A and B are shown apart, each in its own frame.
Chain A
Amino acid sequence: MSYPTVYPTGVTVYNPKKAWNGFTIFQAREQGALLIDMNGTEVNFWQGLHGFPNKMLPGGYVFGHLGERNNNFGMQDQTDLVQVDWEGNVVWKFNQYEFIEDPGEEPQWMARQHHDYQREGNPVGYYVPGMEPLVDQGNTLILVHKNVKNPKISDKLLLDDVIIEVDWEGNIVWEWACNEHFDEFGFDEAAKNILFRNPNMRTSGGGMGDWMHINSMSVLGPNRFYDAGDERFHPNNIIIDGRETNIICIICKKTGKIVWKLGPNYDSSEDLKKIGWIIGQHHAHMIPKGLPGEGNILVFDNGGWAGYGIPNPSSPTGAKNALRDYSRVLEIDPTTLKIVWQYTPAEAGFLMPTDAEKFYSPYISSAQRLPNGNTLITEGSDGRVFEVTAGHELVWEYISPYKGEKMPTNMVYRAYRLPYEWVPQVERPVEVAIEPVEVTTFRLPGAAPMGAKKTTVIEGTRPYQGDKALCVAAGDEAEE
C-alpha cells in the first residue's frame, strides 16, 4: 500500500460531540503500556510492561506481562499475566502453567500466555455498562500455549492453544486444549493434507506448528439467543477464532465441544457465500448485552493470507490458500449469518477494489463496540486506532508514533477505549476538537501550494469520465 513518507502521528481527527470520550490503552511498541486521552495526552505510561494485549480494569489497574520468553525457544509466550496498579505495583500474578528450562535461560514457571485473557465479571475485557471486571477477586480465563504431539493433525511438533481458567489464588480449575477437538472443526481432505505436511511451521524451539493460532478468546455473557432458548449461546460459553484456519467458533464450557462455528470454508452455503471468505481474522467476539448490536459477532476480518486447502497459483502447497489485500470489520448475526453492519474500504470511502488496500492490516487488529454505537477499530499493522460512527463517519483517529528499534514498525496489537471513571486517579481531561486537515492544501514549509502559474487552454479537449475504463474493473463496474 502506498503509505506516504511524511504523515502526522498522534491524534489526527477528533470530534468530541460524536466520539465516545474516554481513555485509550495500548502497547506502545517496545516501550510499555500507554494510556492516552482523546487528544493523545499520555496520562500514564507503565514502562516495560508488555501487553499482549494491555487491558484496563476499574480503579486504574492495568493487565500486562513482565516479560516474554526468549523467541529462540518460544513463539509469543508471555512469561506471566499480571495485574498492576496505577503506581506499578503487581497486585495479582499468574505464571504457574508450565515449568520451562530453555538453554542458557534461568529455569522458571511460565504462563505461556498469548493474545487474550478475560477477568470474571466482564465477558470481553472492555467496557460494558453493568459488567465490570472484578479487581480483587474472581477467576481469570487465559489463553496459553502448550507443545503437543498429535499424529491425527501432523507428525510435526505442534504449538497448541489451550484455554485455562485460574482462580484468584492461581489454581487451574478448568482447561481446554484445541488439538483434542480437531475432528470437530470440519477440515476437508485437502486441508488435512497440507495441515499434516505443514501445520504452519515456525522456527522457534527447533520448529513447531502453530496450526490454529487462536488470537482471541472471550466469554459470550448474557445474550438474547440464550434467553430465547438457544443452548449454543450459553452465557458461560467461550468464543475463539483461529487465524491460520479462518475458523470462528463457540466452545461449550460444560462439555468442551464446538457448538457453533464459521469456517474453515465459506463457500459451502449461500449464507456463507454472502459473508465471503473471512481470512486471518482477529478479535471475533460477541457484542455483550447492554451495547448496541448485542448478541452479534464483531470481528476484524484482516484479509492477508491464511487457511489450509486446495492449492492454487498463489498457494502451490495449499498452505495459506485464501488471500485478500484489504480488511473488513464485520458484525454478523450468529443465527441468521447475515451481516448487519460492516466497515470495509467502501465504507471508508475508498475506490473498490483499486484503493481497497488503504484499509488493510494483514495481521493483529481488533474492533470494540462502544456504548453510543460507535466502533473503535485498531488497524494494527500501521499503528492506526480510529473510531467510526454507525454511519461510518470518522470521529477520532490516532497514529502511534512509537516505532520499534528491534522491529521497525509502529504496530498496535489491540487498543481498548475505557470510561474516564475507570481511572479515578486523574481529573477528567479537557476535550479539544481536532478538525480533519484538508490534505489537498496542507503543506510543509517550502512546499508550494496548489494552483498553476500559467493555465494553458487547448481547443477541442473533451471532459473527463468516471471510473469505467481503468486498467482493472473498479467502482460501479467492479460491483456489476
Chain B
Amino acid sequence: MGFTIYTATGCTRCKIIKQLMNEKGIAFEEQDMKAAGKEAFQKFYAANRKAIFRGPDGVEFPLLHDGITIRQGIGACVAYLLSGTKLDGFFSVGTLHKEWVDGIHVSGGNPEYTTEFLAALQYIKKGNNMKLQLDTNGLNSAILEQILAQDLADVVIMNVLGPKELYSQLAGEAVNITEVEKSLSLVTKFPEYKLQTTVAPVVREDGEISYLTTKEIGATAKFIAEATGSMKNPYLVKLFKPKECKDERFKTIEAMPANALLSYRTAARTHQVFVEIEKN
C-alpha cells in the first residue's frame, strides 16, 4: 500500500516531507485538509483519533500514513522515511513552530541506530535550514557528544531527573550515573541550553509514594553544580502533572500547588543561583 500525506495549505514542513519522498522516489497521495482533501482528512482523523496528537494550536502537520503506520510531525516523518521504525523513540510530535523543531529525544531511542539518528537530524537541520531543540535525560551521552561535534542542535533541554541515588528509579531503568554526568558537562557547551527537574513522585523503600523532597532537589542542584562545574546554569524546577502521567501508580497522586515550589527553589539555590520555578 502506498503513502498518503495529509497536509495543510502553506505548511513548509509538509513540503519538506513531500520533497524527501520525491527524492527517494516514493509515490504518495496528498490530501490537503484546507483544500480538496478536507473530507479525506476528516475521515482519516475520525478513524485514527487516538493515534493523532492534537496540540493547543490544533493537529500538527504533516501526517504520514502508509496504510499501517502513522507518523506525525516533521521529525517523525523524516525518521520513518529514512530509517523505518529504527528511530522510534527518538522523535515525537513537537509543539514549536516556524523554523523550530522539537520533540527530539536523544535519550529516547536505541543507540545502535546513532548513525541513522544523526542522518535524520542532518537532513532536517542542514538540509532544510530548520532549528532543532533536543531534549535528553542524560542517557545516550555518546550520541549527545556526536550531536555537539556535528553542530546538530540549537537548543538542548536536559531533564535532570533527580539526585544521583534516585536516578535509576526515576528513569525506570538502571542508569550509569557517569553517563548523566557526561551529558551534563556536554549540555553546557551547546549554543543554548536549559536544565530542568520535575518534582516527581518516588516510590519509597516502604512502598509509600511521595514527591521528591526539597532536600533531594537541593542534592540534584548540587549534582548539577559538580558535573557542570558551575553554579550558574539556567535551571527550572517544574511541577509534576498527575493527569498527564502515563504511569498508573502516579495518576492519582494529589497535584502539588505551585506555591509549594518556593521551598524547592530555596533548596536548589544553594547550589544553582539562577534557579526558577514553574508557574501554573
Contacts and interface: CB of A to CB of B under 8 A. Distances in A.
A175 B266 CA distance: 12
Interface residues of B, number: 10
Interface in A394-441: none
B259 A171 contact: no
A178 to B, nearest CB: 13
Nearest to A164: B262
A175 B273 contact: no
A174 B263 CA distance: 9
A171 B279 contact: no
B269 interface: yes
A471 interface: no
A173 B269 contact: no
Interface string B53-71: 0000000000000000000
A290 to B, nearest CB: 31
A174 B261 CA distance: 10
B265 interface: yes
A172 B273 contact: no
B259 A99 contact: no
Interface string B247-280: 0000000000001001101100100011000010
A172 B261 CA distance: 10
Given A173-B263, A174-B262, A180 B274 contact: no
B263 A171 contact: yes
B279 A172 contact: no
Interface string B220-247: 0000000000001000000000000000
Chain A contact residues, majority secondary structure? strand
Contacts of B259: 174-175
A70 interface: no
B262 A172 contact: yes
B262 A180 contact: no
A172 B274 contact: no
Contacts, number: 20
A173 B262 contact: yes
Interface in A159-190: 171-175, 180
A96 interface: yes
A96 B232 CA distance: 15
A171 B266 CA distance: 6
A180 B269 contact: no
A255 to B, nearest CB: 11
Contacts of B263: 171, 173
Interface string B185-197: 0000000000000
Interface string A80-116: 0000000000000000100100000000010000000
Contacts of B274: 99
Nearest to B214: A171
Contacts of B273: 99, 109
A430 to B, nearest CB: 50
Contact of A180 (B265, B266, B279): B279
A472 B266 CA distance: 61
Contact of B262 (A96, A99, A109, A175): A175
A172 B259 CA distance: 10
Nearest to B267: A171
Contacts of B232: 99
B245 to A, nearest CB: 26
Contacts of A180: 279
B180 to A, nearest CB: 25
A172 B276 CA distance: 13
Contacts of B265: 172
B279 A96 contact: no
Contact of B266 (A109, A172, A174): A172
B273 to A, nearest CB: 4
A180 B266 CA distance: 21
Contacts of A96: 266, 269
B271 to A, nearest CB: 12
Nearest to A176: B259
Contacts of A173: 262-263
A170 to B, nearest CB: 8
Nearest to B265: A172
Contacts of B279: 180
A99 B232 CA distance: 9
B279 to A, nearest CB: 7
Nearest to A171: B266
B262 to A, nearest CB: 5
Contacts of A175: 259, 262
Contacts of A171: 262-263, 266
Contacts of B266: 96, 171-172
B123 to A, nearest CB: 33
A171 B232 CA distance: 20
A99 B274 CA distance: 7
Nearest to B259: A174
B128 to A, nearest CB: 28
Nearest to B266: A171
B6 to A, nearest CB: 32
Interface string A342-384: 0000000000000000000000000000000000000000000
A94 to B, nearest CB: 12
A173 B273 CA distance: 18
Q: Which of B262, B263, B265, B279 has the most CB of A within 10 A?
A: B262
A145 to B, nearest CB: 15
A336 B274 CA distance: 46
Nearest to B272: A99
Contacts of B269: 96, 99
Q: Which of A96, A99, A173, A174 has the most CB of B within 10 A?
A: A99
A172 B274 CA distance: 15
A171 B269 CA distance: 11
Q: Enumerate the 6 nearest inter-chain pairs by beta-carbon distance, A residue then B residue, closest first.
A: A99-B273, A171-B266, A172-B262, A175-B262, A172-B266, A173-B262
20 contacts: A96-B266, A96-B269, A99-B232, A99-B269, A99-B273, A99-B274, A109-B273, A171-B262, A171-B263, A171-B266, A172-B262, A172-B265, A172-B266, A173-B262, A173-B263, A174-B259, A174-B262, A175-B259, A175-B262, A180-B279
Given A96-B266, A174-B262, 14 more contacts: A99-B232, A99-B269, A99-B273, A99-B274, A109-B273, A171-B263, A171-B266, A172-B266, A173-B262, A173-B263, A174-B259, A175-B259, A175-B262, A180-B279
